Amino acid sequence: MKIIKYTLVGYLALLSAAWWLTDQADLFNLAGFFPWRNVLSQYTGVIAIGVMSLAMILSARPVFLERYFGGLDKMYRLHKWLGISALVISISHWLIADGPKWLVQLGWLTRPGGRGPRPVFPEGSLQQIFLEQRGLAEGIGEWAFYAAVLLMVLALVKRFPYKRFFQTHKILAVAYLALVFHAVVLVKFDYWSGLVGPLLIVLMTLGSIAAVMSLTNRRAGGKRALGKVLAIEQLAALGVAAIEVQLDSGWPGHKPGQFAFVTFHEDEGPHPFTIASAWQKDGRIRFLVKALGDYTRSLPKRLKVGDSVKLEGPYGQFTFEGNAPRQIWIGGGIGITPFIARMKALAGEPDGKAVDLFHCTADYDQAAVDKLTRDAAAAKVSLHVLWDQRDGRLDLQRLTKSVPNWREADVWFCGPARFGQAIRDGLGSLGFPGERFHQELFEMR
């Protein structure tokens, strides 16, 4: 997604420019290894805490940013890349700060003499207070760095169980707060009166608020609602459980294609699930849960009718809005869910658009296909069911042949990321505008 790349690169450029404009006067007078080491230590420290701050802000799920990024799923993808950037930059900062000390101890590098006494500031001045806290800030920062690196690496390991990821990822908020203290004390004092200082103050303040919210299980966006499990239907051939929930007051309603963070069991924490029903203002909401991990495989056995449920949302911009007179929907596997919700809505409120729905699946269940066929008929949607074993996979040639006027359509895709990328690239090679291809990035880690 271009918006993610542009935002990440632009943000790094903004932080770098603010630092450069603040510290450029000193750069032209540097000579020798250690002066450059000090400057680069400050630079990487500024960039690292700036990147961590934005990542922490996004973790609070500020729903007002969804329209700019195209949904919370894209914001979480940016959050992931900010985390990777923070990991690389913070390791660089650590090596720049501590590496020369190791080289001096090994005798491979000589520290220049004549460092002179530390500056003396008026007693009780902010400069003097910061100077007295340097040792503490260095120690806290080092241990917080070790913890943050471990937690960020674990977050990137797909095999690390989601339950443990959810539990350990919150500890990053504590590490971040420790690193804020480290940065406040050790950032060059002159920076606070320069261009980069106010920027850091805003970022670290908002990041700290987001960290406290994370530790207290609060979020900036989305409403919370309580409910109970009303019914559970198992579609064994598909490895899917259809779960219907009756909500109490508090749910603001949702658009077809949006999702919610759902907590069925407190020890597991919230999982994001796409909503499979249109909002009828009756408090009922339906989810289709695919058995993809240990928890989702065990969910039908653990969950019982009458169990309490917590919801947070709705989130997402996969809401079928567009000006084109035709739409093409492509649902891969459980990615059919948002299209089911949209068909339920269209059955009651048609929008006049011609729609072709391609349901591509490796597993086949006739009862599920019959339901899908009835929903499509009620919504006046042209349904194309492609069972891999029988029909092969959907490719560009089949897509364009099935919908001759595909150039007049908006395309909405939900399914495996590589499948979606292949369709996007193929259409793009034929001149299809990228902004009219909408893809749900349903990976929250």
For residues 278 and 345, the answer to whether their CB atoms sit within 8 Å is: yes
* Residue for token pair 């450059």: 36
- HSE of 63, CA atoms in CB hemisphere, 13 A: 14
Q: What number is the average pLDDT over the span 150-170?
A: 84
Residue ranges of domains in the chain, CATH in brackets: 2-215 (1.20.120), 223-315 (2.40.30.10), 326-439 (3.40.50.80)
Per-residue pLDDT at 118? 65
Per-residue pLDDT at 292? 84
Farthest CA pair distance, the chain: 84
Contacts of 405 (CB under 8 A, 6+ apart): 326
The residues with which 335 forms a beta bridge, in sequence order, are none
Q: CA 48 from chain center: how many Å?
A: 19
> How far apart are alpha carbons 62 and 222 in whole angstroms?
8
* Residue for token pair 């000579």: 31
Confidence band, pLDDT 50/70/90 cuts, at residue 175: very high
Taking only the tens place, the pLDDT of each residue in 29-64 is 777 778 888 899 999 999 999 999 999 999 999 999
Token pair of 189 as six digits: 């004092």
Per-residue pLDDT at 26? 65
In this predicted model, which residue has the larger pLDDT, 112 or 375? 375
Taking only the tens place, the pLDDT of each residue in 199-255 is 999 999 999 999 999 999 888 888 899 999 999 999 888 899 999 999 987 899 999
> How far apart are alpha carbons 299 and 163 in whole angstroms?
13
Token pair of 247 as six digits: 């909500």
β-strand pairing of 259-263 with 271-274: antiparallel
Confidence band, pLDDT 50/70/90 cuts, at residue 415: very high
Q: CA 171 from chain center: how many Å?
A: 17
> How far apart are alpha carbons 81 and 435 in whole angstroms?
22
Contacts of 284 (CB under 8 A, 6+ apart): 230, 244, 245, 246, 247, 277
Taking only the tens place, the pLDDT of each residue in 296-340 is 989 989 999 999 999 999 999 999 998 999 999 999 999 999 999
Average pLDDT of the residues of the chain: 91
For residues 288 and 240, the answer to whether their CB atoms sit within 8 Å is: yes
Contacts of 232 (CB under 8 A, 6+ apart): 241, 242, 243, 244, 300, 303, 304, 305
Per-residue pLDDT at 116? 57
> How far apart are alpha carbons 108 and 47 in whole angstroms?
29
pTM of the model: 0.89
Per-residue pLDDT at 25? 61
Per-residue pLDDT at 444? 60
- SS3 for the chain is CHHHHHHHHHHHHHHHHHHHHHHHHHHCCCCCHHHHHHHHHHHHHHHHHHHHHHHHHHHCCCHHHHHHHCCHHHHHHHHHHHHHHHHHHHHHHHHHHHHHHHHHHCCCCCCCCCCCCCCCCCCCCHHHHHHHCHHHHHHHHHHHHHHHHHHHHHHHCCCCCHHHHHHHHCHHHHHHHHHHHHHHHHCCHHHHHCCHHHHHHHHHHHHHHHHHHHHCCCCCCCEEEEEEEEEEEEEHHHCEEEEEEEECCCCCCCCCCCEEEEECCCCCCCEEEEECCCCCCCCEEEEEEECCCHHHHHHHHHCCCCCEEEEEEEECCCCCCCCCCEEEEEEEHHHHHHHHHHHHHHHHCCCCCEEEEEEEECCCCHHHHHHHHHHHHHHCCEEEEEEHHHHCCCCHHHHHHHCCCHHHEEEEEECCHHHHHHHHHHHHHCCCCHHHEEECCCCCC
Per-residue pLDDT at 115? 58
For residues 284 and 246, the answer to whether their CB atoms sit within 8 Å is: yes
Q: What number is the average pLDDT over the span 338-362?
A: 95
Q: Can the peptide bond before residue 314 be classed as cis, meaning omega within 30 degrees of 0?
A: yes
Q: CA 310 from chain center: how many Å?
A: 21
Q: What number is the average pLDDT over the span 388-406?
A: 94
Per-residue pLDDT at 131? 82
Per-residue pLDDT at 445? 62
Contacts of 80 (CB under 8 A, 6+ apart): 156, 445
Per-residue pLDDT at 294? 83
Per-residue pLDDT at 113? 63
Taking only the tens place, the pLDDT of each residue in 86-140 is 999 999 999 998 888 888 888 887 777 655 566 667 777 788 888 888 899 999 9
